[in-house]
Amino acid sequence: MTEVATDGWFWVGTALCAVSLVICVVMTFIRTFPDDFSILSVAAVELFLVVYGVGAIFRQGGGEPLQGELWEFWGYVLTALVVSLVAVVWAVTDKTRWSNLVMAAVGPTIFVMLYRLQVIWFG
């Protein structure tokens, strides 16, 4: 297995995803409704993804090339944005304890997508 280069974006995103996962799992056991902390933790992941996307635009505009396909990279970015939005919408409409668990799935899902984005960027 080849080692994938990682950068600060990856490590910040990983930390946010891990914190969001822990918060959402804990709130699943503590609350019987979607907790504000869970929603805010997923919103923090979403905000990170927006900043990541803007940063990627500047990096690509500055001449830093992708090692993979452009469409694949932006497909992952857009899909990651949609995943976290869908989880929050689910939580707001479902209003049960399990909404927190649905939001907990955002952290590991986005982590895997960030790793894949690193593979596409650095090869």
Residue 65 is predicted with a pLDDT of 87
**So what's the pLDDT on residue 7?**
86
The owner of tokens 């894949």 is: 116
Beta strand residue intervals within 59-103, DSSP E: none
Instruction: Give me the pLDDT at residue 35, please.
Output: 86
Sort residue 45 into left (φ over 0), alpha (ψ -120 to 50) or beta. Answer: alpha
CB 91 within 8 A of CB 102: yes
Predicted pLDDT of residue 105: 96
pTM of the model: 0.91
Q: So what's the pLDDT on residue 97?
A: 85
- Determine phi and psi for 89, rounding to 5 degrees: -60, -40
* Residue in 22, 33, 20, 26 with CA at minimum distance from that of residue 99: 33
For the chain (123 residues), the mean pLDDT of every run of 10, in chain order, is 78 96 95 89 97 94 90 96 94 89 95 94 85
